[in-house]
Structure 1
Amino acid sequence: MNKRLFIFVFLCQFGIACALTPILAMAESSPAATEPEPEKGPHNGRMLREGDFAVELAIFETGVPPEFRVWVTQGEKPVAPQQVELNIKLTRLGDQIDDINFRAEGDYLRGDTVIYEPHSFIVSVSAGYQGKTYSWQYDNFEGRTLIEAKVAQAMEIDTEIVGAATLHKTIKVYGKLVLPANAKRQINARFEGEIKQVHVGLGDTVKKGQLLLTIESNESLQSNQIEAPIAGVITQQLANSGEQTGQRTLLEITQPSKLLAELAVFPMDVMSVKQSAPVTLMVNGLNTSIPTVISGNRLTMRDDQARLFLAEVDNTEGRLSEGAFISALIEVETFDVPLAVKRVGLQAFRDFTVVYAKVGEQYEVRMLELGREAGEWVEVLGGINAGTEYVTNNSYIIKADIEKSGASHDH
């Protein structure tokens, strides 16, 4: 299937194609001609011929990093490698050129440069023998495709630039919201008497100093008033007008403006959780996350050996409830790296983990050597240069288009 036609079919599956019909109308009605397989030599290399002079060019990578090795013949007879001058230039995506010279070794010429991945380039070969110069050029592309800018935009293919990043390593834990120990106040009378009036009711919000109860002393018959010691909500009303106070609790006030997240951390991670470590809380039913920090921990372990770490949660707006189940990411390590890519952009290609570099409207694999992972980022130890534009969101579209073309390189 023609590449543009493939993209058109792909877009149809997502309902995008109608908007892009003018762009994709260039899809050919007849299949593209299949390129013939290049001739292979006795060393499984590509054969390049001019008259009776021939060069066999192979990428050798058994026990050594990939390198070029070249065998030369004339009239099907071997030519001593010392008699041949050879140069190869590899033009990579973005017009970077690898300039490779050769020296004689055994019965072949050996290149002086490692052929790093991807093996995707325009190959220009120049050979000199007995006063005559021979030259060839061919494309050796792999992991490369072209997608027009308007199509890429419609498919929401996003890119970013490779560079330094600060990685935040986290552990995921679970827990619930509880009230702090000082969040409740039980209201009692300091003397026995009759409750003349209850000025508040269950569920009422009260301010600090607000009148709660009027009580008449049984001894002095004087009226006394009880005021709220804290601001909060009346969460228990245990007495009514006309009753005796006795020694009981009359009202309970709860201050809900602050909650504690109890986070269960299991033994393998306990030592990595530090005081004041940043925490991101996710509460069931709440669309936004809540930032906070570790403020302490319970001294005793639960029956499952988890230790409960605590984090204060602002509930001034009253959106949260005691007992709500939560999950959280606790930051346990922070480190700066000179190169990193976003995890969302990673794809598998052959035996490599790759991202897709973007140059103009062309995309090509970059085989990565990866280091530490943290959150959305992965450290890069090699395989891509700082400042390279690469695909993040929807990188699987590039992978699918490359796999459809089936391009492979010489070995």
Structure 2
Amino acid sequence: MKSTFKILTLISTLCFVSLSTSFSSFAVSEQKVEEVEPEKGPNRGRMLKKDNFAIELSIFERGVPPEFRVWATMDGKVIDPAKVELNVKLTRLGDGVDDINFFQEGQYLRGDMVIYEPHSFIVSLTAKYQGKNYSWQYDNFEGRTSIDEKIAEAMEITTDVVGPSTFHQSIEVFGKLTLPADATSNVYARFDGLVKKVHVKLGDAIKKGQLLLTLESNESLQSYQVTSAKNGIVSAVNVTSGEQSKGRILLAVTNDETLVAELAVFPLDLAKVNIGAKTTLNINGVEEQYTSKIDSRVLKVRNDQAKLFRVLVNNSDSLLSEGSFVSAKIEIGSFDVDMAVKRNALQSFRDFTVVYAKVGNEYEVRMLELGRIVGDEIEVLGGISVGTEYVTENSYILKADVEKSGASHDH
């Protein structure tokens, strides 16, 4: 009964979230339908008019980085741009304000600052002509959406912060676990004679000093005991009670508290691998990852020309077995970068690779200039600031929402 109640509660919650999201989407869609396309001027810029004075504000980017260019008219007639004072302020989401002044260039005014992507901001324009002041303000958003915090949590949208990172370069290699050369101790009788009793059996885990055998010397007819010289597992039993020892190996004890991963490195990568290099191992059938260092190498190459590098692996909990297959990453270098983001955060937007910055309940694209890739991180050379919170998981939800809104910007 309780299980049924929980299921019904979960379904109700999901339906509420779905309906809320649908309603939000519907409201946005309705809003978009009601929006009027801004009037464009002869230079494809946005027209801003007050009384008989008009400004055409255009983002110009043909052959130059994006910049503002402005044409002014009075009563439909072109004004000498030298007689117009102009300022534009762009208020960006979480990135402060761009303060742009203008200077005359030919028949237009040219902004003194590059308008970097995204072209998403609140535009505030002030102009002065013949002693009269004019002002306009409007939204020019792109690549931006808003999601309530609770809905973002339900959608498992998670974030991280842009910051410096240390990249570790590695090569992937393969091998298997073996025993160290000194892992197995053979047990002999100190004095040949009758084996009166074998106190252990094959596979027993034993401690150093534990009783293994009781024998009777053929010469003295005195009984004596043989104990283990180490911790380990009884890996061979070659005698039974009542037999003569005859100088042979009676038992073998193997200590597997340390195993050796023998990793094959082929000629192309040999020069990159050094003794002491950090190594991360994944062992077949074991969920836990193991970290260690290259301890030594085998002098002779194999028939396939691979050289074996040896890594000591702690097996004090006896979870690992000799012969298990191993995949490993050997670190061959590391370097620091000023900024990095997670690779799974990347999305496409127009012709750019972006991440979604988060400011409160609002999310907006940041066009990235990318550098080197190592593992699950990628170096960022520009387009975002250190300390910016950005979406790492489920950013595709934001991409879909932005594409659905169809928001465009002035050019």
TM-score w.r.t. the length of structure 2 is: 0.87
**Contact 1:346–1:354 under 8 Å retained in 2:** yes
CA distance in 2, matches of 1:108, 1:66: 16
Question: Which residue of structure 1 lines up, in the alignment, with residue 185 of structure 2?
Answer: 185
Q: Which residue of structure 2 lines up, in the alignment, with residue 70 of structure 1?
A: 70
* 8 Å CA contact 1:16, 1:154 repeated in 2: no
Distance 1:62 1:24 in 2: 40
Aligned partners of 2:190, 2:168: CA distance in 1, in Å?
54
Superposed CA offset, 1:26-60 (max 9, x none): 54578335223333333332233345543332222
Letter in 1 for 2:66: P
Map residues 6-405 of structure 1 onto 2, 5 A cutoff: 17-18=14-15, 20=17, 24=21, 27=24, 28=26, 31-34=30-33, 35-50=35-50, 53-94=53-94, 96-189=96-189, 192-218=192-218, 221-246=221-246, 248-405=248-405
Question: Residue by residue, what CA displacement relative to the aligned partner does 1:277-298 show, whole Å, maximum 9, x if unpaired?
Answer: 2222222222222222221222
Q: 1:305 & 1:64 partners in 2: Cα distance?
A: 55
In structure 1, give the amino acid aligned to 2:105: E
Q: State the alpha-carbon separation in 2 of the partners of residues 410 and 342 from structure 1.
A: 31
Q: CA deviation at 1:181?
A: 0.7
Cα offset for 1:221? 4.7
Deviation at 1:384, TM superposition (A): 1.4
| 8 Å Cα contact 1:23/1:150 also seen in 2 | no
CA contact (8 A) 1:211 1:226 kept: yes
| Alignment RMSD | 2.7
Secondary structure at the residue paired with 1:197?
strand
Query: Unmatched 5+ residue regions in structure 1?
Result: 1-13
C-alpha spacing 1:189/1:154, structure 2 compared with 1 (3 Å): same
In the TM superposition, what is the alpha-carbon distance from 1:299 to its structure 2 partner? 1.9
How far does the alpha carbon of each residue in 1:373-404 deviate from its partner, in whole angstroms, 9 at most, with x for none?
33343332221122222112222222221122
Count residues with an aligned counterpart. 398
1:16 Cα deviation after fit: 6.3
1:338 and 1:193 mapped to 2: Cα distance?
74
User: Matched residues in 1 for 2:259 and 2:95: separation?
Assistant: 59
Structure 1 residues 353 and 148: alpha-carbon distance in aligned structure 2, compared to 1, 3 A threshold: same
Distance 1:195 1:146, change over 3 A: same
Moved more, 317-326 or 331-340: 331-340
Q: Give percent identity, aligned residues only.
A: 59
Report the TM-score, using the length of structure 1 for normalisation: 0.87
Segments of structure 2 that go 5 or more residues without pairing to the other structure are 1-10
